[in-house]
């Protein structure tokens, strides 16, 4: 089955981003295909390469980044949500004349159209965090 | 074409959920999909006319509800029991909506390809 996943919950104050990661890993293990993961609202914080997790806690941003790189998944961060929360790639940082970019490896920044496209091309769309 | 159903369940101000849901509805409409936009629970407050969010330095995102028709979003529903619980009626609302019951809501969800609740 072709599955897309939307994550909306904050990775630092909600469980949903971890649940979504576990779900994606289970889906791949079961032989399903992941068409796209779309990060919306507070979940775009997962795209920051600058977060620091306490030593005895899991760095969920790093875990997601590693996961999407390992399986070469299409991991899209919503641009409108990202800009508001200070998640910028090089081109957005230069467009808005910000001092740095912080988008972690493995993620792309794009628009809500990518989510609609995922709905059209997937057998199931599963949301985490709402 | 797919049927995308959105359940907007949060009040218009206080969280960004209402705006996030509206943006998804409009994006889906741009892709010319069948859209059901359903207001329920605290979400019915988004429909009420006369919000003045400038007083709390918030943007009146709900003004965009007027544009739904332009975007071709015609299936706009309010869960009747959510209105009733809040002593609201159609006369309080800024756009025309269809009232739906719990049973009708179930069948709308059942006949959808994708359901998103925000």
Prediction ipTM score? 0.90
**Number of independent structural domains in chain A:** 1
| pLDDT value for B39 | 98
3-state secondary structure of A32: coil
Q: pLDDT digit string (tens) for A92-124?
A: 999 999 999 999 999 999 999 999 999 999 999
Q: What is the residue-averaged pLDDT of chain A?
A: 97
Domain chopping of chain B, boundaries: 3-117
Residue B55 pLDDT grade (very low, low, confident, very high; cuts 50, 70, 90):
very high
Range of the domain at A98: 2-128
**Nearest CB to A41: which of B16, B113, B117?**
B16
Residue B63 has pLDDT above 90, yes or no: no
| pLDDT value for B115 | 97
| pLDDT value for B62 | 84
Q: Please, what CATH class does the domain formed by B3-117 belong to?
A: alpha beta
Question: Catalytic site residues of A?
Answer: 78
Residue B47 pLDDT grade (very low, low, confident, very high; cuts 50, 70, 90):
very high
Contact assignment for A119 to B30 by CB distance below 8 Å = no
Contact with chain B for residue A8, Cβ under 8 A: yes
Q: pLDDT digit string (tens) for B87-116?
A: 999 999 999 999 999 999 999 999 999 999
What CATH number does the domain containing A17 carry?
A: 3.40.1260.10
Q: pLDDT digit string (tens) for B4-16?
A: 999 999 999 999 9
Q: What's the average model confidence in pLDDT over A61-82?
A: 98
CB B7 within 8 A of CB B44: no
Contact assignment for B24 to A112 by CB distance below 8 Å = yes
Q: 3-class secondary structure for chain B?
A: CCEEEEEECCCCCCCCHHHHHHHHHHHHHHCCCEEEEEECHHHHHHHECCCCHHHHCCCCHHHHHHHCCCCCCCEEEEEHHHHHHCCCCHHHECCCCEEECHHHHHHHHHCCCEEEEC
| pLDDT value for B12 | 95
Residue A66 pLDDT grade (very low, low, confident, very high; cuts 50, 70, 90):
very high
Interface mutation target, options A41, A83, A118, chain B, most CBs of B under 10 Å? A41
Q: What's the average model confidence in pLDDT over B74-81?
A: 97
Residue B60 has pLDDT above 90, yes or no: no
**Closest residue, chain B, to A121 (C-alpha):** B2
Residue A79 has pLDDT above 80, yes or no: yes
| pLDDT value for B53 | 93
Residue A130 has pLDDT above 80, yes or no: no
């Amino acid at each position: 089955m072709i599955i897309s996943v939307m994550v909306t919950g904050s990775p630092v104050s909600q469980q949903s981003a971890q649940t979504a990661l576990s779900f994606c890993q289970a889906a791949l293990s079961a032989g399903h295909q992941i068409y796209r993961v779309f990060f919306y609202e507070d979940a775009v914080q997962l795209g920051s390469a600058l977060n620091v997790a306490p030593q005895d806690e899991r760095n969920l941003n790093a875990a997601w980044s590693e996961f999407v790189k390992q399986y070469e998944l299409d991991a899209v961060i919503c641009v409108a949500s990202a800009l508001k929360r200070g998640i910028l790639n090089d081109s957005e940082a230069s467009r808005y004349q910000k001092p740095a970019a912080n988008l972690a490896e493995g993620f792309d920044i794009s628009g809500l159209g990518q989510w609609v496209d995922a709905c059209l091309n997937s057998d199931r769309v599963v949301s985490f965090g709402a | 074409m797919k049927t995308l159903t959105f359940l907007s369940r949060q009040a218009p101000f206080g969280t960004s959920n209402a705006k996030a849901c509206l943006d998804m509805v409009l994006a889906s409409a741009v892709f010319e999909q069948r859209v059901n936009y359903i207001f329920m629970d605290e979400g019915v407050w988004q429909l009420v006319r006369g919000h003045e969010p400038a007083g709390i330095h918030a943007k009146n995102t709900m003004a965009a509800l007027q544009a739904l028709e332009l975007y071709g979003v015609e299936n706009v529903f309010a869960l009747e029991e959510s209105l009733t619980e809040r002593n609201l009626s159609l006369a309080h609302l800024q756009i025309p909506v269809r009232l739906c019951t719990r049973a009708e809501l179930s069948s709308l969800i059942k006949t959808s390809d994708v359901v998103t609740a925000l």
